[in-house]
Structure 1
């Protein structure tokens, strides 16, 4: 099975990328479709993304999935939080039992350079120019930042977001993978932790609430401290 990449963030949160080499019939035999998608490739991406949810958590209840007005799929009792993304022949998903999550996967293309003003704040563009002086490097970094803002948008999941003003990325660098701090600004400000990984021609970013990441890390440290007493 072409599970292209998987990362277990902790026992409650996992993500993966599926390289789609199967035809639609493979997925249709295993996964219910919740949307009437007529375009063959988009339908294939849709099915592969849902198949990946159960590849990450075998007990994931496909049959209970609903679609919100914002078109985001969800489970009514939130026994799992999840996010799905597609690009080309790949589908990405992140699933968590404990926290809201967002994920995005994008192809690196020169187009992102031309639309940078639509999603970047002026301070973010200034940091891009410092971190990646050449245009090929800027295209990769801009794709990471575009993907980061898409991941935050999916984490928020309620639609209607000004990417340049409401989603701010405070720390980032040009590197194959890493972590950046971000903020989602609404009536209140939500601190976020965003993680990225570059693959050949492709960017993956996932978003988690910074406070929950910190709490889970402290919980793991406390558990180790408890064990050391015995």
Structure 2
């Protein structure tokens, strides 16, 4: 990380109306919010945007859109951004000069059942049995952060994002490589465990 890059986590304890009242939304955004089912999806969308507003320290309208690949971007402000959410938390990362990616996930045992979908066999081999669930979440969050930072669709977590072996700690760095066709990019991805959540974050 550097002075031009930061991320923040926010526990969403407010009701939807309370979050809504902190935002300025255009007609399309208001229609989108009204279309969202009441509940977590609504809170997540509102929560990430309120957190973005707080990080940018502005009361002005923020024109935040998504491109054809689903990557969020700011129309009128010189920042690269990434958004994530999981259960009670919203996460936002921004940088003045480089693409960024962030992912937050609540740690649950069920990740073991889907590990084969995003892990290579050689990656499964370096997992520490004593911390297998947490380490799987590190791998998932790291790959998701790389995917978001790269910002293009049609990337396979298992086939295109390769992780170097690492020892699990409550926070650390993982070396990752995005390999697809002519694309070959190395990333150093940070991670940390916060309560029962795992966060992965990267700057391109």
Query: What TM-score comes out, normalization by structure 1 length?
Result: 0.79
Name the residue aligned to 2:136. 142
C-alpha contact 1:180 1:194 (8 A) present in aligned 2: yes
Hey, which bits of structure 1, 4+ residues long, moved more than 6 A?
Answer: none
* Cα-to-partner distance string for 1:182-209 (whole Å, 9 max, x where unaligned): 1111222111110010122110110122
Name the residue aligned to 2:8. 16
Within 5 A, what are the aligned runs for 1:16-165? 16-32=8-24, 34=29, 35-36=32-33, 37-59=36-58, 62-76=61-75, 79-128=78-127, 132-134=128-130, 137-165=131-159
Q: What residue ranges of structure 1 are gaps of 5+ in the alignment?
A: 1-8, 210-230
- Distance change (3 Å), C-alpha of 1:121 and 1:63: same
Name the residue aligned to 1:192. 187
Equivalent residue of 1:194, what SS?
strand
Equivalent residue of 2:126, what SS?
helix
Report 1 or 2 for greater relative contact order, CA contacts < 8 Å, sequence distance ≥ 6. 2
Task: Answer with 1 or 2: which has the greater Rg.
Answer: 1
Structure 1 residue 32: deviation in Å? 4.0
Structure 1 residue 170: deviation in Å? 1.3
Structure 1 residue 159: deviation in Å? 1.6
Cα distance in 1 between the residues matched to 2:47 and 2:61: 13
Q: How many pairs align?
A: 196
Structure 1 residue 147: deviation in Å? 1.1
Query: What TM-score comes out, normalization by structure 2 length?
Result: 0.89
CA RMSD of aligned residues (A): 1.8
Cα distance in 2 between the residues matched to 1:76 and 1:184: 27
Q: What residue ranges of structure 2 are gaps of 5+ in the alignment?
A: none
Cα distance in 2 between the residues matched to 1:151 and 1:203: 12
Structure 1 residue 62: deviation in Å? 4.9
Name the residue aligned to 1:212. none
C-alpha contact 1:147 1:203 (8 A) present in aligned 2: yes
Name the residue aligned to 1:222. none
Cα distance in 2 between the residues matched to 1:75 and 1:15: 16
Structure 1 residue 51: deviation in Å? 1.1
**Deviating more after overlay: 26-35 vs 38-47:** 26-35
C-alpha contact 1:171 1:182 (8 A) present in aligned 2: no
Equivalent residue of 1:161, what SS?
coil
